[in-house]
Amino acid sequence: MIQKIIKRLLAGVATLLIVYAATFVMAVSIPGNPFQSGDRNMPAEAEQALRARYHMDNNWTFFTEYLAGAIRLDFGPAFTYSDWTCNQIIASALPVSMLIGLLAILIALIIGIPLGVVGAVRRDRLPDFVGLSIVILGISIPTFVTGTAALTLFCVYLKWLPVGGWGTVWHLPLPAITLSLPFIAYIARLTRTSMIGTLECDFIRTARAKGLPERVVIWKHALRVAFLPVLSYLGPATAQAMTGSFVVEKVFGIPGLGQHFVNAALNRDPGLILATVLVFSAMLIALNIVVDLLYGVVDPRIKAAV
Amino acid sequence: MIRNLFLFFIALICALLGLFSLTHREPRADFTYVNPSGIHTLDPARMSWMQDFRVALNLWEGLTTWDPKTTEPVGAAAYFPPGRSADGLTYTFQIREDARWSNGDPVTSRDFVRGWRRAIEPGTSADYAFFLTENIVGAAEYVRWRQETVDALSMLRSRGRLNKTNDELRMILPRSAADLEKRFAEVGLETPDDTTLVVHLRKPCPYFLDLTAFATFLPIHESIEMLRSNEVDSPLTREGLVVYDPQWTKPDYHRNGYPGLVTNGAYSLSDWSFKRRARLSINPYFRSADDIRCKTIDMLEYDNVSASIMAYESGDVDFLTDLTVPYQHELVRLAQSGERPDLKLCAVLATQFLNFNCDSKTVGGAPNPFKDARVRRAFTLATDREKLVSQVLGNGDRIAKSFVPPGAIPGYTPASGIEHNIDRARTLLRDAGYTSGEQLGHIELLVTSNTVRLGEALATMWEDALGVRVELRAQESKTFAQDKISRNFMMARGSWYADYNDPTTFLNCLTTANGNNDTGYSSEKYDALLAKANAEANPATRARLLSDAESLIVETDCPILPISHSTELIAIKPYVKGLYPNARLWFPFRYVSVDR
């Protein structure tokens, strides 16, 4: 088991190195000057001195020095926001995105799983159709629409919650719910499909034959197996919810990590591009390893295969 | 198991929520405004953005400042007016005895020299260092000398020959370090005593007192020296630079006993969290601190203008400086019709225009029809700016026929420009040897991705009037900037915001050597007129020379095609007093009072 974990971790480090190299090449080769701002052109000498200051005058030294820093978890200065280091930016933005993302996934599980189970059990009947409609709405309406609608309704007209910003518990519910909508939809769909298959299995017939109440059959025996596809989806979904909530962050004006993904690239800020990509990749890899391990714990049949 | 998983999940969220609730909330500030694009830097030497300048000029105070109503230069940390020699080349500033830093220290002339010196240092110097290097005796020479050291070291490093035992390095660094003070002494700045600053100018600069209000000219408190990073026994870093720990702009940074950011303006920075908020609190040592009504100012950063407008409508925010939203034209209409008196339009000193590439060949090597001034003039004549401004832009901008906005700079009447006239445009094209528009070949217009609508309107206009075929190339802003600098375009969108209240802030952009001349336009006559104006002492004659120069670029040679003079929409809650919409968008918060 430990050997397998070490193997997975090593593979993860190798993946990160490849991600780093590929991102580096893209970050330094896209046209655009990270030091220029606004309409004013920067004199070539001034740019040269700034490149020297940040050791960007030589791509190879920049590559190795940045990598050495990243291994020590020091991502160096942000060029566009020169008063801050990338570490400070990530430390300020990542917990924000994580909190919103985790809340969204939690909401998605709490709503999505029962929705899927009910859909499977009452297949092709009214509850299933209601569930399906919610799912289709959740998937097809983009979050910038639902987010803006929620913002307008609850914050501007009803004035129940503050508009945008960050700092109190009242800033949390709207973005978390908005972000959870597509995840609710996927989870409900996954649960329903997998539940339908599971309910036809032999062990379910056995459970029913033993005279177990239907409630126990479904929620204890069947769900345990039917949950597996949801679990494997949870890894990437959590990573995506925690780091990819850019649109929701934008709509609600939340100081999360999502905006830096986009802005770092728009600003041609190589330090911040690399830092955000590496953090996101590391999280994605780590969550996938965790999910694979959990898989074995939840379903003994898979233990051997991890 | 699933239950355990859920429990773990919930425990994690509770932990995060717990951390979240620990971030303490201060009571609402006396005055709150939103800065949607956020602070890029609070280092005055490195600033380029209006939003950053606005914060800096409330935190610091230069020798002069701008009157919030008229934007004329008035006294600030120095008495006004300063002594000025008859030839206009020497200014003697007397710093007020009651000018104080936010820790109580008196503001001295050396603090100004420290700030100005830092602003021109290679590796720090940014967009506006040229204000100092172009005007102050010896500054450009000092920078050039410094640059040589940095370049030499950079070259050695990229050849992989830079290490502690390298002889060349051993020589270059100490030699420059030893000469550092001697060389800087040749720069025309003198501090005969703590309150006197003598500035020697390279050439007369009629707008110098306007410049000294600018962020690049702010003083820096001596505590920054605690954060200097350099090689042992040397004032310079290995790269040959003068570098300070970039954290020096933080109020709560205390490495090496650093007291946190010390400023000399009406406010000091009491809290700054990245991309969330900056709180400004009254500087208790400021000379008129008792008269200032708003003791705390919150600057919020919403990454989204729509959200900031909603926060304004719901009353969480008192003031907005940016209302660039897709429905902006509707807001402009409400402001113009007076239905929303809290929305105000500021006619700013800025011009949107097109650059023509004046080189003889395009980057691809094809012959460039726009090298001929007649073709450029024809395109200008064929452009219906009334229609563009009223039907396409819809943002309250005014029609521009000149480069310098009319009526904005006292004593200056801009050139009148040329009117819309399709027949004359066609005649000019024929004169230039093009009997039909198609003969001009493939014409390309480079725009940014957010000015595509303007580009489409222009293309249609020229296609209808001249029969030319125009292709639009829309680019994201950084790629656009790169192509514009390398002149990889035939026509490209441009915009220019005035840096000071003088026509030269616009007109200098088109001189031959200017780094912001994106057109490649080079006219001896134009350069000579500007040089002559520069040397002219009589304001009226100078204005006439500048106006003559301007008529060259908007009537005869037409390297640029002015489209509109910008208007900015701002929102001020009716209960806020003391904010005046002005052409520089300069809002000193010390005059603001809020009566909710």
pLDDT digits (tens, 9 = 90+) for A65-84: 899 999 999 998 888 888 99
- Indicate the residue of B41, B130, B150 with minimum beta-carbon distance to A52: B150
H or E segment and range at residue A117:
helix A86-121
Are B478 and A31 an interchain contact pair (Cβ–Cβ within 8 Å)?
Answer: yes
Whether B213 contacts B66, CB under 8 Å: yes
Residues 417-456 of B with CB under 8 A from A: none
Going by pLDDT thresholds of 50, 70 and 90, the confidence category of residue B520 is very high
Q: Are A274 and A20 in contact (CB under 8 A)?
A: yes
Residues 6+ away with beta carbon under 8 Å from B565: B347, B348, B350, B351, B352, B397, B398, B399, B400, B405, B406
Lowest mean pLDDT among B151-165, B364-378, B469-483: B151-165
B1 pLDDT more than 60: no
Position B490 scores a pLDDT of 94
Same domain for B426 and B560, yes or no, is yes
Q: Which residues of A touch B489 (CB under 8 A)?
A: none
Range of weakest confidence among B118-127, B215-224, B288-297: B118-127
Higher pLDDT, B313 or B201: B201
> Which segments of B508-568 does DSSP mark as H helices, in order?
524-535, 539-551
Which residues are bridge partners to B367 per DSSP? B361
**For the domain that residue B93 is a member of, what is the CATH number?**
3.90.76.10
pLDDT of residue B214 exceeding 90, the answer is: yes
Q: Is the dihedral of CA B508, B509, B510, B515 positive or negative?
A: positive
**B15 touching A (Cβ < 8 Å):** no
Contacts of A151 in chain B (CB under 8 A): 307, 310
Q: What ipTM was estimated for this complex? A: 0.85
CA-to-CA distance for A12 and A28, rounded, in angstroms?
A: 24
Of B43, B154, B497, the CB nearest to A52: B154
pLDDT class of A306 with cuts at 50, 70, 90: very low
**Whether residue A180 has pLDDT greater than 80:** yes
- Burial classification of residue B433, based on how many CB atoms lie within 10 Å of its CB (0-12 exposed, 13-18 middle, 19 or more buried): exposed
Is B523 found in the same domain as B401?
yes
Chain A contacts in chain B segment 465-494 (CB below 8 A): 476-479, 481-483, 485, 494
Measuring CA to CA, which residue among A90, A82, A91, A83 is closest to residue B248?
A83
Same-domain check for residues B87 and B231: yes
Among B246, B277, B303, identify where a domain stops.
B246
Of A43, A83, A165, the CB nearest to B41: A83
Domain count for chain B, please give it: 2
B466 domain-assigned: yes
**CATH classification of the domain holding B408:** 3.10.105.10
Do the chains contact at A58 and B158, CB–CB below 8 Å? yes
The partner residue sitting opposite A102, judged by closest CB among B1, B12, B249, is B12
Model pLDDT, residue B220: 97
Q: Is the pLDDT of residue B115 over 50?
A: yes
Q: Distance between CA B59 and CA A281 in Å, rounded?
A: 40
Helix (H, G, I), strand (E, B) or coil at B74: strand
pLDDT in tens, A265-296: 888 899 999 999 999 889 888 888 887 887 77
**Segment 31-90 of chain B within 8 Å of chain A by CB:** 39-43, 46, 48-49
Is residue B442 assigned to a domain? yes
Is residue B324 over pLDDT 50?
A: yes
Residue A52 to residue B516, Cβ atoms within 8 A: no
B297 versus A236: the higher-pLDDT residue is B297
E strand segments, B400-501? 442-448, 469-475, 491-497
Would the CB atoms of A33 and B23 count as touching at under 8 Å?
no
Residue of B174, B146, B182 whose CA lies nearest to B232? B174
The tokens for A249 are: 């962050």
Provide mean pLDDT across the span A211-236.
84
**pLDDT tens string B350-379:** 999 999 999 988 888 888 999 999 999 999
Give percent of chain B with pLDDT exceeding 90: 70
Which of the four pLDDT bands, split at 50, 70 and 90, describes residue B25? low
Within a domain: B501: yes
Q: Is residue B584 part of a domain?
A: no
Task: Report CA-CA distances (Å) from A196 to A119, A124, A230.
Answer: 9, 11, 14
Reported confidence tier of residue B73, pLDDT bands at 50, 70, 90:
very high
Pair (B535, B386) in one structural domain: yes
Selecting from A37, A53, A162 the residue whose C-beta is nearest the C-beta of B243 gives: A53
pLDDT of residue B399: 94
Same domain, B242 and B354: no
Q: Residue A304: pLDDT above 50?
A: no
Q: Assign B537 a pLDDT band (cuts: 50, 70, 90).
A: confident
Average the pLDDT over A45-67 and give the result: 86
Q: Place A303 in a pLDDT band, splitting at 50, 70 and 90.
A: low
Q: Which of A33, A37, A47 to mutate to test the interface with B (most CBs of B within 10 A)?
A: A37
pLDDT at A199 over 70: yes
According to DSSP, the β-strands at B228-229 and B243-244 are: antiparallel
* pLDDT value at residue A79: 86
Q: Which of B192, B219, B246 is the last residue of a domain?
A: B246
- To test the contact with chain A by mutation, choose from B277, B303, B495 the residue with the greatest count of A C-beta atoms within 10 A, namely B303
- Region B449-463: mean pLDDT is 93
Residues B371 and B519 in one domain: yes
Q: Of the candidates B246, B279, B313, which is a domain's last residue?
A: B246
Q: CB contact, 8 Å: B118 with chain A?
A: no
More confident position, B207 or B310: B207
pLDDT, chain A, mean = 85
* Residue B507 predicted with pLDDT over 70: yes
Say if B265 falls within a structural domain: no
In percent, how much of chain A has pLDDT > 90?
Answer: 21
Q: Is residue B49 assigned to a domain?
A: no
Asked whether residue B160 carries a pLDDT value surpassing 80, the answer given is: no
Q: What local confidence, expressed as pLDDT, does residue A80 receive?
A: 86
Contact B327/A at CB under 8 A: no
Residue B191's pLDDT is 96
Is residue B65 predicted with pLDDT exceeding 80? yes
pLDDT given for residue B587 in this prediction? 94
Task: Give A130 to chain B, closest Cα distance, Å.
Answer: 26
Residue type, A299: D
Has residue B231 been placed in a domain?
yes
What is the structure's pLDDT at B284?
96
Tell me the residue range of the domain where B230 lies.
63-246
Range B218-242 average pLDDT: 88
For residue B99, being part of any structural domain is answered with yes
Which tens digit of pLDDT belongs to each residue from A242-255?
876 788 888 888 88
